[in-house]
Amino acid sequence: MTKRILVFREINDTQLASLRAEFEVDYLPHLTSFDAPEAMEILPQVHGLVGASLKVTPEVLDKAPNLEAIASISVGYDNYPVDELTRRGILLCNTPDVLTETTADTGFLLIMSTARRAIELAEMVRQGRWTQNIGKEWFGSDIHGKTLGMVGMGRIGAAIARRGALGFNMNVLYSMASSKPELEKSLGAQRLELDALLEQADIVCVTVPLTEQTEKLIGAAQFARMKPGAIFVNVARGKVVDEAAMIQALDDGTLHAAGLDVFETEPLPADSPLARMSNVVALPHIGSATHETRTAMAQRAVDNIRLALDGQPALSAVNVDALER
């Protein structure tokens, strides 16, 4: 029997052709919800899902009784009910490693553009408002030699820390992660409790996944602990932060600036204050969005679904214990 898969995010022609050579493929790259009629019609027959950014709920799984595997085109898997997938014997695959360096580049882009006010100043030039030498009211702050506080020190966190320590001579602190002796040795990184990190860091950068334990990890109390003039960067997930508290902290000057790639609600609602605050650099969730990396992520997902539906070990799976069900 030829297995059927639903691909709900854009992949390239070669990748699509390779899936079509093996499976019956429904290709809905612009699907916005599994509740859409075109998805509802297919779900009862699918054995595999490939895509990203859509919430998969237990109700969606109820509609897909033949589902064997999901290949997410993302490393984060907060859109999936992992325990429920495992209970039902459905393998969930993700795309670690291939996006680490690109997402770390984005993290550093946010660090640099907030600290040096690059977007505000570029806008001034674009609008023809550069009419005299820039005065100190437009100066930024240095990055080199400053203290970088990493909240999370996994693949992406370590890659940002490496850029900071080795490229910018930054002092690296980290929290919310198990001890990393090799990074302590190679980068001089120091592990601290979160409160101590917040009190000492000039730039706080969040890279923890969104879980029950990390939801709203950074709220009013945490912003209040940060140094005056601190910069806050989030490339993880918007819900790790209490967004209302962050807006308040940016507004009242507790927080000097924020560089954000992720938000509580995405796309960011047009009326969000974050879209207009001059001390915020807001990006539309583009951490991994380069041609090279998005191609590599899609390829990883294609490889994962082929292996998983073939009964072979996937290249990267979140819940291998699902296979024991």
Among the listed residues 163, 237, 300, 306, the single catalytic one is: 237
User: Residue 192's closest CA among 212, 171, 170, 210?
Assistant: 171
Q: Among residues 43 and 319, whose Cβ is nearest to ligand NDP?
A: 319
| Residue 229 identity | G
Q: Among residues 39 and 246, whose Cβ is nearest to ligand NDP?
A: 246
Q: Check if 24 is active-site.
A: no
Q: Check if 30 is active-site.
A: no
Q: Does 93 bind ligand NDP (CB under 6 A)?
A: no
User: Residue 31's closest CA among 21, 42, 23?
Assistant: 42
User: Binding segment for ligand LL5AMS7Z among 69-77, 132-140, 241-249, 265-273 (CB under 6 A)?
Assistant: 69-77
* Spatial separation of the C-alpha atoms in residues 69 and 85, rounded to whole Å: 9
Which of 236, 258, 314, 317 contacts ligand NDP by CB under 6 A?
236
Which of 46, 93, 153, 309 contacts ligand NDP by CB under 6 A?
153
Q: Does 56 bind ligand LL5AMS7Z (CB under 6 A)?
A: no
* Spatial separation of the C-alpha atoms in residues 155 and 177, rounded to whole Å: 11
* Spatial separation of the C-alpha atoms in residues 137 and 314, rounded to whole Å: 54
Tokens 């595999």 label which residue? 48
Among the listed residues 123, 266, 276, 292, the single catalytic one is: 266
Q: Check if 266 is active-site.
A: yes
Q: Does 99 bind ligand LL5AMS7Z (CB under 6 A)?
A: yes
Question: Whole-number minimum distance, CB 37 to ligand NDP, in Å?
Answer: 30
User: Residue 173's closest CA among 199, 150, 193?
Assistant: 150
**71: DSSP letter:** E
Give the number of other CB atoms < 10 A from CB of residue 212.
5
User: Binding segment for ligand NDP among 109-117, 163-171, 211-219, 267-275 (CB under 6 A)?
Assistant: 211-219
Residues forming beta bridges with residue 257, ordered by sequence position: 231
* Spatial separation of the C-alpha atoms in residues 149 and 161, rounded to whole Å: 9
| Residue ranges that bind ligand NDP, judged by CB under 6 A | 75-76, 96, 99, 103, 152-157, 176-178, 207-211, 213-214, 235-237, 261-262, 285, 287-288
Active site residues: 237, 266, 285
